[in-house]
Structure 1
Amino acid sequence: MFDNCTGTAGFLVSAMKKMIEKCNGALNKEENIKKNQLFGIEYQPDIYPLAVSNMLLHGDGKSNIISGNCFDEIIINTIKDKKPTIGFLNPPYKATKTKKSDVEEFEFVLNSLNCLEKHGLCVAIIPMSCALAQKGERLRLKEELLSKHTLRAVFSMPDELFHNSKVGTNTCIMIFEAHICHSVRKNTFFGYFKNDGFTKRKAKGRFDYNKNWEGIKNEWLDLYINSTPKEGLSVVKKINFESEWCAESYMETDYLRLNNGYFTDTLLVYLSFMFANKLTNSVSSAKYTNTKIDLKINKWQYLELSNLFTITGSKTTPVLELEEYGCGKSPYVTTQATNNGIGGFYDFYTEDGNCLTVDSAVLGYCSYQENNFSASDHVEKLIPKFKMNKYIALFLTTILNLEQYRYNYGRKCSQTRMKEISIKLPAKNNQPDWQFMEDYIKSLPYSKSL
């Protein structure tokens, strides 16, 4: 096992423990593992002694950690002579670098793969932004990786994986098979492994307090080893270097979980916003109609979002500028996912109402804006190409907010991504059934208060 970005040797220590567990007490095998099967490289001279000490403290009597640059040809040849078959690495992240000359994360991955034997496996945890690269040096490196090696799997990791450290980056784990060119016919496994069962507690950090990790880990491993697609957790897909290498791009939204409760919650949240901001005098649970309507989701059809809406940005208005106009009746739409996205009301607006707005900075939160409004940065607009009223709008916001699992700080809900997605809707003659959507919302509790 080889780690070209050893740090304090966390991967090497963990690997040593796992390998020794499989020896079943055979001391000669344990000794061979410690002497001949664990190798690392650490560049920083102040970290190197910590790595060696960590290995020694955990029972490694002959630490094979090299102090130097993993890109040095002499060091590369030294590692190659050991014929490693497994590479683990967590390279320095570009977000923490200050110089343009700093090495890209993918360069470290290529370096690790270069040192491995043919068919060896490289496991790298790197920023999600690497997987999403569509231009520049990172895209070139994606192309180089697939021209030399096979991308077997990518796991999207929990957003707060590094909560207990200073790293605030969304990450993924990539698994490559060394020295086998990626085939266009090869399926890559993508895991949406966001929920690892860990929870946060004040002053104690993120930990498996509820003892859920073992079961979750076993399920993840079963899905990966067998390349099994599972709704909400995994998908297999043929990709190329220009593709986004993450599950969020390819997973299908589970529409079957929709029921009256989902849509009623949307109405309650919207009416709570209206009442809290004195935009309505009362709210009741009364229905607009007493007709009972079945959603019949299995008959819905996928429709391209760009055929339903003009997807565009909004003009950014700074709060300081709004304060000069003073308080008023026009909402100020922000990227917050509460209060219908509204950060205040001012005597100024730049955008026409009766449209949907989407936060493109964080969660992809969608809300309906009935009135003319102004907006902060990263607020996108969905301007309907059809006659939309508040009933249809609230049906659509429920559907669009199901897509939030696709987005995070690393993969934002951009105009480009929205223009590429399709959503499932009630349809008639291959066209959206707007009347059905309106009638359905009117059949729900609280609809009369709209």
Structure 2
Amino acid sequence: MASLTWRNVIVSGMGVLTDGYNLYSISLSSFFISSSFTFTGAELGLLVAGSYFGAAIAALIFGLLADKIGRKRIYGVDVLVMALGAGLQAFSQSYSELLLARLILGIGIGADYVLSPVIVAENAGEKNRGKMMIITFAVMWGLGAVLAAFVEQMGLMAHLSPSLLWRVVLGVGAIPAISVFVMRRKIYETMMFVSRINPEHEDVKKIENEIGKPLPKARDHTPFLKRLSSSAVLIIAASILWLLYDMYSSTFAIFGPITIASNLGLSPIEFTYVAQFLAGIPGQIICIFLVDRMGRKPLIVMGYAGVAIWLFAYSLLLSDPRIFGLPETQLSVSKLVGEAAILGFSFYMLNYFFSAIGPASIIGSAMVTPELVPTKVRATSQAISVSVDRLATALNITAFPLLLSHYGLGAMVGFYSGIALISTLITLFVIPETKGRELERIVKEGHAQQ
């Protein structure tokens, strides 16, 4: 079973790496796109959010299909669509064409955000499911972001013109997507889907040979809509939790390499490397080690507490450096300088580190919904979470440049600190602990408590 689980982690993880690359590369290259096209701040926000709108639309379609005909039959279509969208970006001749390419890219990403978490969760054992999902999503997404920074750095070192550089950076996103298509078409149907939904599936014998024992079968005869409605409270709670997480995390991921990096005196590429290697990856390693030992809830709460504290401190620093005993002159036109820049850098990195310990690695790995709902509606439930999250995040990203110009970075960072506190309360009082428990057992216990 271990080899089957790791194979799914690798195959799914490469798709998530593609997601990370394509979502992050637009933030790195958006400055250079202006050398080719003219657009307003609102149009830039719409362009950056384009893939999120596409993902919101596609998720529901692929989620319903995955629950009705199986995960395997449509796995691989997502990366092909991603590759098409990424490739079309490189050849766009107008703002409208680039926006359309990003919508197509988002369709593939939305499908992958539904399929990959469900497939990994349904094939992982209860003792290491958390670790496997974090490696698949949080770690691989971060590596995709680093790869995007590396590609842009190579382009800058090669002295590519701005009009060519952004096309190369965005277009390269098609390569990792294409690389996993064949592997995704060759995977087996998930053990949980075969066991609970289609015990006569052609892959049953292959799975049993792989795991070396008979596969338990217990077909779920409960109607689809009844299963979905009985899980409604948890689906809503998980969707809100992911929505709140992405309101600040996706905004920072997209605009951080420009807005935050500039405020801290770093280039976008420097910012990416520092954030991932000094804060993101160390936090993920801690989470991987503890998630199946300590549990999901303690890590999310501990992580969000750190996020709230350090973002609030960063917000205060941006508002008035004198609060920290620094001269007001170290804040120049919303840009920190001198000791204030060093302190701001420390606050932001600590926020990033604590986020990686809990929220980014667990909520960001799309772990919540797949662990809480029955197999029969797992993909649809995940699709609802993805659609709600992607749509809200798209609107937030579209509005961020305007909100930033109106309220300033300090107020925005303070607002996101408040979101972390609200998310902590939802986690504490609504989301059940899933550490070390089989997926269907979690569902039964959850329904018994309702």
Q: TM-score range by the shorter chain?
A: under 0.3
Larger Rg: 1
Instruction: Name the TM-score, length of structure 2 as normaliser.
Output: 0.23
Judging by fraction of residues, say which structure has more helix.
2
Judging by fraction of residues, say which structure has more strand.
1
Instruction: Name the TM-score, length of structure 1 as normaliser.
Output: 0.23
